[in-house]
Every structure is written in C-alpha cells, then in structure tokens.
C-alpha cells in the first residue's frame, strides 16, 4: 500500500497494472469522459459487449478503491439541473488514472499481438 502511495505521488502507473476486471472497465469507461454511476454501468456494458453487468454495490465498491488509489476523482462540474438529476455524482480520471489506463491498453494490445504471433491460427479464429 505504501508502494502504491509512493507510485501515486510520482504518477507511476506500474504498481497498478494489471487492474482487476471491474476497476479496469470503470477506468476504460471514464477514459471516454466524465460519467455518473449509471453512466459508468452502461458504458461498461457497452465496452464489454454486455458481458459485464455491474450492480450498484460492485460499482461503488470499485469506485471507492479507485478513488483511494488516486486513479479517479469526483468531478466538480455539474450539468444544468434542468437537464440532469443534481443528486448524481460525476467521476473522472486523474492524471495517474489516465496513465494507468494507457498502460493497461498497451499491456492488453501487447498480449493480443503476442498471442496472435505465437498461437496456432485455429485458436484465434483462423482457418488452419
């Protein structure tokens, strides 16, 4: 934990990677812009092609952890109350969160590239 706190201070994403599936999807969802709880749930569903359907408890459990790690923060910006429910809290990525997101995306694309290079074609949807 102390290591993570030091990393957060220096904005080094290494100790946070890889993220668990739920926090990873939340970070990816917030990488596309600020969102409130329900907005994150829907974005995660969209990104995971409907495979990950979060409930409120899992969502805010992960949000609590991500806020504590300094990867996301509550946004001060509020939409017009006429357009949105003012009780909703919006979250956004911090600088460290963006760095972790970039590191995760790089890790995942490397994983896919290596798998495609080393695995037989039939295992990755080929015809051989």
Partner 1 sequence: MAAERRTDARVDRACTNYRRVLIAYPRTFREEFGDDLVQAFRDLLLMSGERGVWWRTVRDLFASAPREHVAAMREGKRPSPWLLALVLVLLIPAVLTGGFLPEVYLMIGCLLVLPIIGINRLHRAFVVRRTTGGAILGLVAVGIACFVPGAALLVWVGPDRGWVIGAMVVLALIVGSVLGIVGGVAALIRARKSGERTPRQALVGAGVAVVVIGGLISAAYISYRNSQPPTGDHSVANASAETRALWVAADTGDVETVKRLAATCADPWVQFPTPDGKHDAHGAADSRLLDLPDDQEPPYAEIMKILGPAKESWYDRCGASAAEK
Q: Using CB under 8 A, which of 3, 53, 78, 114 touches partner 1? A: 53
Cα four-point dihedral sign 5, 8, 12, 14? positive
Rule CB under 8 A: say whether 60 interacts with partner 1: yes
Query: DSSP character for 89?
Result: P
CB of residue 85 to partner 1, shortest distance in Å: 7
Residue 33 token pair:
């812009």
CB of residue 1 to partner 1, shortest distance in Å: 10
| Alpha-carbon torsion angle 105, 27, 42, 45, nearest 10 | 40
Binding site for partner 1 (CB under 8 A): 36-38, 41-42, 53-61, 63-65, 85, 87-89
């Amino acid at each position: 934990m102390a290591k993570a706190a030091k990393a957060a201070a220096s904005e080094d994403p290494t100790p946070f990677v890889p993220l668990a599936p739920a926090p990873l999807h939340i970070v990816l969802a917030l990488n596309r812009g600020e969102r409130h709880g329900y907005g994150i749930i829907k974005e995660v569903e969209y990104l995971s092609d409907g495979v990950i359907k979060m409930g409120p408890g899992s969502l805010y459990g992960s949000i609590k952890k991500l806020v504590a790690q300094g990867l996301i923060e509550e946004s001060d910006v509020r939409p017009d109350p006429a357009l949105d429910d003012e009780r909703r809290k919006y979250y956004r990525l911090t600088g460290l969160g963006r760095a972790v997101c970039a590191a995760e995306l790089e890790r995942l694309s490397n994983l896919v590239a290596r798998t495609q290079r080393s695995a037989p074609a039939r295992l990755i949807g080929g015809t051989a």
